[in-house]
Amino acid sequence: MKDRIYAEPRAQVVGFRFDEQVASVFPDMIRRSVPGYGTIIDMIGVFAARYARPGTRLYDLGSSLGAATLAMGALLPHQDCELVAVDNSAAMIERAEALLRAAGLTQPLQQRCEDIRSTELSNASVAVLNFTLQFVPLADRDALMARIAEALVPGGILVLSEKIRFEDAAEDSLQQALHHAFKRNNGYSDLEISQKRTAIENVLIPETLATHRQRLQAAGFDSVHVWFRCFNFMSLLAVKA
Binding residues for S-adenosyl-L-methionine: 37, 62-64, 87-88, 115-116, 130, 197
Task: Please state, in angstroms and rounded to a whole number, the distance separating the CA atoms of residues 179 and 222.
Answer: 32
Task: Please state, in angstroms and rounded to a whole number, the distance separating the CA atoms of residues 160 and 213.
Answer: 11
Task: Please state, in angstroms and rounded to a whole number, the distance separating the CA atoms of residues 17 and 79.
Answer: 35
Task: Please state, in angstroms and rounded to a whole number, the distance separating the CA atoms of residues 177 and 192.
Answer: 15
Count of C-beta atoms within a 10 Å radius of residue 13 = 16
Going by the annotation, the residues of the binding site are: 37, 62-64, 87-88, 115-116, 130, 197
| CB 118, CB 45: distance < 8 Å | no
The DSSP code sequence of 122-191 is -SEEEEEEES-GGGS-HHHHHHHHHHHHHHEEEEEEEEEEEEB--SSHHHHHHHHHHHHHHHHHTT--HH
Contacts 24+ apart (CB under 8 A), 168-175: 172/232, 175/231, 175/232
